[in-house]
Chains A and B, each alone.
Chain A
Amino acid sequence: MLNWLCKWFHSDSRALSDSCGPKVKMSLRFYYDLMSQPSRALYIIFKISNVQYQDCPVALRKGEHLTEEFKENINRFQRVPCIIDDGYKLAESIAILRYLSAKGKIPEHLYPKYFVEQARVDEFLEWHHITLRVTCSLFFRTIWMDPLLTGVRPSNEKIQHLTQHMEANLDIVENVWLQKTDFLTGQRLTAADIFAACEIEQIRLADYDVRIKYPKIKAWLKRVRAGCNPHYDNAHQYVYKISGTAPHAKL
């Protein structure tokens, strides 16, 4: 596993400017890395929505987003995901979702047009940043990524602290968001579920198994995966492989 990981980390990649495919010229360019949670969420949403885009993968592990060229020509914030739509540059996954929805590219079942239903999805998307997202990413980064980069493992006390913060938010997902419904904002899968699931999948990398303490999240994750496949599994191929915890069912 570690061998494979090292190879993956150091594998050659084409120069960024050459890596955008396919050959057909599309007006929408999508820059992403499947190791980034919101990148995966947008990737899955685009695939389900059949959004046509020019594929522009960015290898974060090689710092491809940190070059001056990336800053100047692609995204001033030097992050993924981002898009360039016929010259218009936009960052922030949720802003991108809303922009493409307003352009009629996202089906209503994923991001409702009726403002009352849309507000419910927005409520989750706005809620998740400084709660679920920040605590899951911090858990993943401190326990998985930092040791990989620095060789230093966090103390048990630190791990306990991170777990506590993350679980406080997983509790809210389990007990409030999923209290009465099959999906986070009602009985149907929306973009909110996809964003949330991608955050929760990330902590597999730090060997956290959400299914142990959270039966509702466990059942909901299955529903989200089923509702998004095969794109969900494609988006998570690296997460499954690196964590060694792919779901039993075939890709």
Chain B
Amino acid sequence: MAKFKYYYDLMSQPSRALWIALRLGKIPYEDCPVALRKSEQLKPEYQQINRFQKVPALVDGDFHLGESVAIVRYLADKGQFSEQLYPKALEQRARVDEFLEWQHLGVRLGCATYFLDMWLLPMNGIKPKPSAEKAAILSKNMESQLKILEEIWLKDTPFVVDNKMTVADLFGACEVEQTKLAHYDVGKKFPKIAEWMQRVREQASPHYDAAHEFIYKKSGMKPSNSKL
């Protein structure tokens, strides 16, 4: 089977989740990094790759596909994705899908907005640093989603769907990792999330640490036993 091309930047949360999943599943792909910091995704050449000018994206022969979760499903149906990470059994798959659909407006929107407004946009001079009042609203919005992760998804199980790590955990954890850049320490208020992230990291080793190298370095919040 010819290799597909995977376009990504490890600074993008869903890019990392998919990158870790591909590596864990030992799926061969052609490595196509895209530097968001250089706005490579906005160049006309990249528009030919992905008309939405975002990462991650996949090109498989002449089939172009954006959206990380759509890519997971496409590869799974083609037999190019780990079955442990995206189960085939109807009810288990639906449960993973339930998380993947929830996370967009749940943990992803909350965490990504926090990261963007607290760190990325002020750092690049696009927006002023948020006032104390605005910062409080941003953390309240994010924490209302983290609370759902802590109290519902992780209520009785070590992973968000039952007892085994799936791609849902990778998507969730990569979003939460991103908030480290804005110096948010999730373990202070959400002990279950902190423990869960440690489990995900161990299960996804060594790719999890490799994907998060920049975040660990930049935030100074490297897990104590990381070999990086």
Contacts and interface: CB of A to CB of B under 8 A. Distances in A.
* Chain B associates with chain A: yes
Interface of A: 76-77, 88, 90-96, 98-99, 102-103, 115-116, 118-120, 122-123, 125-127, 129-130, 133-134, 172, 176
Given A118-B73, A133-B105, A98 B51 contact: no
B98 A90 contact: yes
A67 to B, nearest CB: 16
- Binding site secondary structure of chain B: helix
Among A76, A93, A115, A123, max chain B CB count under 10 A is at: A123
Interface of B: 51-52, 63, 65-71, 73-74, 77-78, 90-91, 93-95, 97-98, 100-102, 104-105, 108-109, 148, 152
B69 A126 contact: yes
Given A119-B71, A176-B52, 4 more contacts: A98-B94, A99-B91, A119-B74, A126-B69
Given A77-B148, A127-B52, A130-B104, A92 B98 contact: yes
Nearest to B67: A126
B102 A99 contact: no
A91 B98 contact: yes
Given A95-B98, A176-B51, A122 B69 contact: yes
Contact of B109 (A99, A102, A134, A176): A134
B102 A130 contact: no
Nearest to B68: A126
A126 B54 CA distance: 13
Among A102, A129, A130, max chain B CB count under 10 A is at: A129
A102 B95 CA distance: 13
Nearest to B96: A95
Contacts, number: 83
Contacts of B63: 116, 119
Given A122-B70, A122-B73, A99 B94 contact: yes
B52 A94 contact: no
Contacts of A127: 52, 66-67
Contacts of A134: 105, 109
Given A123-B65, A123-B66, A77 B102 contact: yes
Given A99-B90, A99-B94, A99-B97, A126 B70 contact: yes
Given A92-B102, A98-B97, A102-B93, A115 B148 contact: no
A92 B66 contact: no
B101 A95 contact: yes
29 contacts: A76-B152, A77-B148, A77-B152, A91-B102, A92-B102, A94-B97, A95-B97, A98-B93, A98-B94, A98-B97, A99-B93, A99-B97, A102-B90, A115-B74, A116-B63, A116-B74, A118-B74, A118-B77, A119-B65, A119-B70, A119-B71, A119-B73, A119-B74, A122-B67, A122-B74, A126-B70, A127-B52, A130-B105, A176-B51
A82 B185 CA distance: 33
A91 B69 CA distance: 17
Given A88-B91, A91-B102, A92-B98, A130 B70 contact: no
Contacts of B105: 129-130, 133-134
A99 B101 CA distance: 13
